[in-house]
Amino acid sequence: MEVSPYGYRRMSELLSTYASLRLQAVDACVVALAERLDLREVAALDRRDFSVVAPRHLPKGQRLRLLPD
């Protein structure tokens, strides 16, 4: 899947917002794509970043569900 211009802008926002977390571009891209595709779960090994980052498309306080559990 290709990242759209909006996706790049959203990645930039996430990287700025979570600068102290040292969020990586790949993780920001996964969040931006999850928002775009309305995904509630993603496969990821880096649990730390995803437990902090708040995707816009989920209700306040919810985070992406990470697979494998």
Give per-residue pLDDT as tens, 5-30: 999 999 999 999 999 999 999 999 99
Is position 65 within any domain? Answer: no
Task: State the Cα–Cα distance between residues 65 and 17, nearest whole angstrom.
Answer: 21
Number of structural domains in the chain? 1
pTM exceeds cut of 0.85: yes
What's the gap between Cα 51 and its chain centre? 10
Is position 60 within any domain? Answer: no
Is position 21 within any domain? Answer: yes
Task: State the Cα–Cα distance between residues 36 and 21, nearest whole angstrom.
Answer: 23
pLDDT tens digits for 55-67? 999 999 999 999 9
Is position 59 within any domain? Answer: no
Residue 47 domain boundaries: 5-53
Is position 41 within any domain? Answer: yes
